[in-house]
A = this chain, B = another copy of it.
Amino acid sequence: MKQPQTGPVPAPAERPLLTVDVTILTLRDDSLQALLVRRAEPPHAGRWALPGGFIRPDDISLEGAARRVLLDKAGIETPYLEQLGSYGDAKRDPRGWSATVAYVALIASDRLEPRHGRNADAASWWPIVGTSVAPTLAFDHARILAAAIGRVRAKVEYTTLPVHLLPAKFTLPDLQRVYEQLLDRKLDKSAFRKRIAEVDFLEPVEGERRAASNRPAQLWRVKPDHRTVFFDRTI
């Protein structure tokens, strides 16, 4: 990491540690789950933690570092990735002044690779209960995870964000079920469809339907240029 020193900077030894940590969420077995990795080395060796790592000189950006972590630890590419916030103070890491930039990633359960990246054995999915997870997490990761879950739940109320938890093609009943799971309440079918229709971000996949012993549902996909859309009102 060349530093031309065209101005005064803190001495290297006085620079804080900088990491990225990613909360990776998916829907499996009808529940929201987070991917955690078991730490192999101190500090907090043996504890479960959010996938993360130090910023390296060859990272191109913070988001690039988050994508690298996502690929290394979970074998996942190009999902929904959003910056959550940064957490830093003098005490959160025994190795010194440390800050982490936290990200939230959402992926569809059909895009989970059979292997979870290089350290497959040390990574596994944990169901979210309330705003936390069964094991005690390393560092301040419980706080970060809670913030990530809060952010996602809040956005479900007024955005199209849950489409990122579904496969590329899905039916409107599928989508409504995801909203209902995340919000933990029933939605009226008619009102739900009015909301989805008015923001106009889906397009039908013609000629394809889903098999069952009843009227099949239309399949839809998000329009090519889609970015998360905000509803006028809460959903």
By a beta-carbon cutoff of 8 Å, the part of chain A in contact with chain B is 1-10, 12-18, 41-43, 54-57, 59-62, 64, 83, 85-90, 94-97, 99, 101, 232-234
Contact = CB atoms under 8 A, between A and B. Distances in A.
Given A4-B94, A7-B42, A55-B99, 16 more contacts: A1-B13, A1-B16, A3-B96, A4-B95, A7-B43, A8-B41, A9-B95, A14-B57, A15-B15, A55-B97, A57-B90, A57-B97, A62-B86, A83-B85, A83-B86, A86-B101
15 contacts: A1-B14, A4-B94, A5-B95, A6-B94, A8-B41, A9-B54, A10-B54, A10-B55, A15-B16, A55-B97, A60-B89, A61-B88, A61-B90, A62-B87, A62-B99
Those 9 A-B pairs whose CB atoms lie nearest each other, nearest first: A12-B12, A3-B96, A61-B89, A62-B88, A15-B15, A7-B42, A86-B86, A86-B101, A12-B13
Contacts of A64: 89
Contacts of A17: 9-10, 15
Given A9-B54, A10-B54, A2 B96 contact: yes
User: For the complex formed by this chain, how many copies does it contain in all?
Assistant: 2
Contacts of A89: 60-62, 64
A122 B29 CA distance: 59
Contacts of A60: 89-90
**For chain A, what secondary structure do more than half of its interface residues adopt (helix, strand, loop), or is it mixed?**
loop
A10 B87 CA distance: 19
Nearest to A88: B62
Contact of A90 (B16, B59, B96): B59
Q: Which residue, A4, A18, A64, has most C-beta atoms of chain B within 10 A? A: A18
Contacts of A1: 13-14, 16, 96-97
A101 to B, nearest CB: 5
A55 B101 contact: no
Contacts of A101: 86, 88, 99
Contacts of A55: 10, 16, 88, 97, 99
A41 B90 CA distance: 28
